[in-house]
Amino acid sequence: MTDIRRTVLWVVFTMSLVLLWDGWQKHNGHPSMFSPAPVAKQASAAGSAASVPVAAAASGAIAAAPGVAPAASAAVVGEKFEISTDLIKATLDTQGGSLVRVELLKHKDSADRSGHVVVLDDANGRFYKAETGLTGVADAPSHLTLMSVQPGERELKDGANALSVRFESPEAGGLKLVKTYTFKRGEYVVTVKHEVQNTSAAAVTPQLYVQLRRDGHVEAKASSMAPNSFTGPAVYTDKSKFQKIEFADIDKGKATFETRAEDGWVAMVQHYFTSAWLRNAKGDRGFFVRKQPDVATPQYAVGMVFPLSQLAPGASATTEDQLFVGPQEENKLAELAPGLQLVKDYGIFKALSQPLFWLLDQLHKIIGNWGWAIVVLVVLLKIAFYWLNASAYRSMAKMKAVGPRIQELRERLKDKPQQMQQEMMRIYKEEKVNPIGGCLPIFLQMPFFLALYWVLLSSVEMRGAPWILWITDLSQPDSLFGHFLGAPIGLLPILMTATSVLQVALNPKAPDPMQQKMMWIMPLAFGVMFFFFPAGLVLYWLVNNVLSIAQQWMINKQLGVSNK
């Protein structure tokens, strides 16, 4: 029974670390051990002839739009210019009046700390844009139409709270489209106002579409064993809630999502950051997700189509939408639109990860430091599981106390296995020892550890968050002592490994010499993995180890069991 207990514990411990290692490898763009490596999909450097969105097939106001734009449209080249606020540097294009690049000035690039994170981009082998236009009327202004931009400020000046950029399309299909972007201080949300004017002599009923169009490059493919952060389109409605759509499902024509509703939004999701078109006002809208036709490399679009009221000659209509391009700060996203916080991917541990993040966030509000918030969170979890852990440690202490008797029994009755098992069970019963008593706490606590792993992996709040001294980014591995053979060498993993070894010393000695050697080798072997894990996760495990050692040492003392 002792061997069974140890085997169960090591299986749980080993599988947990393997899953963490696999998830961290995928997080850094390496293939998963449990699923095929994703096919790299290089982005198109230019947005060649693009089709106007086809509205979701549904009866009523949302009708199909024209198909592929004329080939001549591909030759249209717009003028690009930059605007900047306190949070972003954005590039706009007069072709379609589209937003084609967004640089987040408060978020450093993980690969190049001198640069910033770029979400939308149409250069350097990337293709990712936010576009809008009209459909439902032949030749109506679309995201391919060359528009004129009105003069104005291109930088948010000190003391100013907003900056507006106005585009005007030429008359096309009897319609004129005026598009105004308003960038606000301290916000990642851009207000986009559309004014549609009927310049023809007949009544028309156009439709407005908004879309996010990007390449199909995916850094890592999720696996059922340890899901990684999702990359791809998403649709949200109150009826069907949050629906993620894999690029692979779009390729196969198997994408499923709500096609029409009175509410909802669309987004392009990636690790830490997202873009989303939002309209919180109730109103009919169609949703579309599709693969871009007639381009050399894959491009995908997700968007919404809104019906407009019938416009008499000379009449106009105005709508207003919001475009979010920024970090997945959970609390702020929840304030922008219902369910928008769901773009933050917790994988299969969502039920535990969300309350853990809430608790961690509350601690951060009080303490003001994410590292210390993690330390306090570990203390709170240890308090919550105190009696459960105490029961396990008492069982382990008793096992250690009867260890010499069990060892003597094994040697004396090694040729009589049945009698040996009976005698062992008698000793366990007399001493009130449960050989597998230490397993239950491990099973119950491991989901919390894995859930916290995904909290640390998914929370952009941890990205670039310092703790103390040399720990300047809790989302990155500790590399205090530099790198050796490409591996970061840090103090936290060394301390964590040392505490794991000390825990082995406090545990009952295995009767089998080979098994005992493995018990000493395993913490050292797995300790190597922690050199690659985020510092925040290693900090969690280190503090947990220290508190566990203190509790186990105390219980051993209470029961008169040697700690040597």
How do the domains of the chain map onto residue ranges? 71-220+286-324, 366-558
pLDDT value at residue 510: 53
Q: Mean pLDDT per 10-residue run, the chain (564 residues)? A: 46 55 50 42 35 45 41 62 94 95 89 84 88 93 94 90 95 94 96 96 94 79 46 93 90 90 94 93 93 80 94 94 95 93 84 90 93 92 75 64 66 70 69 58 72 83 86 83 75 86 68 60 75 85 85 69 52
Cα→Cα distances 19→13, 24, 432, 468, 532, Å: 10, 9, 35, 29, 14
Strands (E), 405-512: 483-484, 487-488
Write out 153-205 in H/E/C secondary structure: CCECCCCCCEEEEEEECCCECCEEEEEEEEEECCCCEEEEEEEEEECCCCCEC
Q: Cα(253)–Cα(250) distance, rounded to whole angstroms?
A: 5
H or E segment to which residue 130 belongs: strand 128-135
Q: Cα(308)–Cα(311) distance, rounded to whole angstroms?
A: 8
Burial class of residue 328, CB neighbours in 10 A (0-12, 13-18, 19+) = buried
Beta bridge partners of 132: 210
> Right CATH number for 71-220+286-324 from 3.90.226.30, 2.70.98.90, 3.40.50.1820, 1.10.1530.10?
2.70.98.90
pLDDT per position as a tens digit, 147-185: 999 998 899 998 899 999 999 999 999 999 999 999 999
Beta bridge partners of 208: 134, 306
Q: For residues 141 and 177, is the Cβ–Cβ distance under 8 A?
A: yes
* Helical packing angle, 535-558 and 386-401, nearest 10°: 60
Amino acid identity, residue 209? Y
Q: Can you give the C-alpha Rg of the chain in angstroms?
A: 30
Strands (E), 249-284: 260-261, 265-269, 273-278
pLDDT value at residue 71: 35
Q: For residues 229 and 328, is the Cβ–Cβ distance under 8 A?
A: no
Q: Which token pair is 25? A: 């490898």
Exposure string for 342-374, b = 16+ CB within 10 A, e = fewer: bbbbbbbbbebbbebbebbbebbeeeebbbbbb
* DSSP conformation class of 212: E
pLDDT per position as a tens digit, 107-139: 888 777 778 899 999 887 889 999 999 999 999
Nearest partner of 333 among 293, 361, 312, 306, judged by Cα: 361
φ, ψ for residue 471, nearest 5 deg: -85, 100
Q: Which residue has the tokens 């301390």?
A: 495
HSE-CB of 306 using CA atoms within 13 angstroms: 27
The CA dihedral of 98, 103, 109, 114, to the nearest 10 degrees, is 130
φ, ψ for residue 167, nearest 5 deg: -110, 145
pLDDT value at residue 1: 43
Q: For residues 102 and 120, is the Cβ–Cβ distance under 8 A?
A: yes
Exposure string for 117-153, b = 16+ CB within 10 A, e = fewer: bbbbbbeeebbbbbbbbbbbbeebbbbbbbbebeeee
